[in-house]
Chains A and B, each alone.
Chain A
Amino acid sequence: MSKFNKKKGTGDLPAVNTASLPDIVFMLLFFFMTVTVMKDNTLKVENTLPNATEVKKLEKKDRIIYIYVGKPTREYEKVFGSEPKIQLNDKFANPSEVGDYILEERAKKPQELQNVLTTALKVDKNANMGLISDIKQELRKVNALKINYTTYEGDAFLNVKK
């Protein structure tokens, strides 16, 4: 007890001023708010993108329609098999449904953006080209000609290594 008394004797320690704590936290908050991209759909397919060096950044997220392709993840493997599948929004789809999906998504966008949309193909590097060709054919049918093969930035020759 005497210890405590002693302390009191030397004078109260002033409380640490925490008034600026909210400011600091708000600063962090705003940082994360501005850099945040909401994940809008959960991936049901494996999606290890290939690497490429000659990439261009995809600016303006509102002008992009995403198509995912890859092997279904383990929990869906039993139902959908292990062959690469297409994922549109939250469900698996056949190549023939791609066209309708694009038209549907296009109709959702504002009028002035409808002609400048890009289709981003996020394809697993182990998928085979047959499926991609089918998708490309469907895209041509609905006149969605601007596409982007989304990749990671890195040495492209890593793709071919086993």
Chain B
Amino acid sequence: MPRRGAPPEVNAGSMADIAFLLLIFFLVTTTIETDAGLDRMLPPIEPPDTDVIIKQKNIFQVNINREGQLLADDALIDLKQLRAKAMDFLDNNGDGTCTYCKGNRRSESSDNPTKAIISLKNDRETKYGTYITVQNELVGAYNDLRNREAQRLYNRKFTDMEAEFLNPESSTKIRDELKDKVQKIQDLFPQKLSEAETSTN
């Protein structure tokens, strides 16, 4: 037979204490940050089977010495000029096959963006901070050009599109849609950033 009357109330007064205890534990262990950084791919260790001959003018050589000075295409330049220089080089369109480029079509610079290679070389004594700045500027040059094309074709920034595409919280429909667009922009300006092994002196 069921008990008559309301059952005695459970004292919930200590619930707050327990919750506080947990709260404080998580407060202490929390670090609210998602890491961010520059994504890079390393070249595979086996050299490719066939030696590809690359014309000198299609290579943009960037050297960083131990003092953090920058040599780009045999000229000593300031770090702040690097992005513009790299963009000029990528966007040059020497052979006229690139319909979307706006470069100066100088004969001594790159043929078209798909052939243009940026080669980065650094000294063993180079500071990591300087190296990251250079990397950042070079990636920035690519991103600026890609943004320009994305703005023209899809009326939005490439970096935003890519971020949304990579974000796991975006819906699959949007991501499928973005995938082709992102891929297309990437193909317009493929990122060819080669890193030679460091020199010792």
Contacts and interface: CB of A to CB of B under 8 A. Distances in A.
A and B co-occur in one complex: yes
Interface of A: 18-19, 21-22, 25-26, 28-29, 32-33, 35-39, 50-60, 64, 69, 118, 120, 123-130, 132-133, 136-137, 139-141, 143-153, 156-157, 159-160
B12 A160 contact: no
B166 A140 contact: no
Q: Which 3 A-B pairs have the closest CB atoms?
A: A130-B124, A159-B129, A125-B129
Nearest to A136: B42
Contact of B122 (A32, A52, A129): A129
B68 interface: yes
Interface string B24-44: 001101111111111111111
B79 A157 contact: yes
B20 interface: yes
Interface of B: 12-13, 15-16, 19-20, 22-23, 26-27, 29-45, 68, 79-80, 122-133, 135-137, 139-140, 143, 159, 162-163, 166-168, 195, 197-198
Contact of B26 (A22, A36, A126, A145): A36
B127 A129 contact: yes
B128 A120 contact: no
Nearest to A124: B128
Given A128-B124, A130-B198, A54 B139 contact: yes
A35 B23 contact: no
B125 A32 contact: no
A62 to B, nearest CB: 12
Given A59-B168, A139-B42, A149-B135, A39 B29 contact: yes
Nearest to B35: A58
Contacts, number: 180
B33 A145 contact: no
A56 B128 contact: no
Contact of A127 (B128, B133, B159): B128
Given A29-B22, A54-B140, A160-B79, A149 B40 contact: yes
A19 B37 contact: no
B132 to A, nearest CB: 4
A47 to B, nearest CB: 11
Contact of B131 (A53, A55, A60, A132): A132
B84 to A, nearest CB: 14
B128 A148 contact: no
A140 B16 contact: no
Given A25-B16, A54-B140, A143-B44, A125 B127 contact: yes
Contacts of A29: 19, 22-23, 26
B68 A160 contact: yes
25 contacts: A22-B12, A25-B16, A29-B19, A36-B26, A36-B30, A39-B29, A50-B133, A57-B36, A59-B166, A60-B168, A69-B128, A120-B37, A125-B128, A125-B129, A126-B129, A128-B125, A129-B128, A129-B198, A140-B43, A143-B44, A145-B43, A147-B42, A157-B79, A159-B129, A160-B129
Contacts of B127: 125-129, 159-160
Given A32-B30, A35-B32, A123 B128 contact: yes
Contact of B130 (A22, A35, A160): A160
Nearest to A59: B168
A140 B42 CA distance: 7
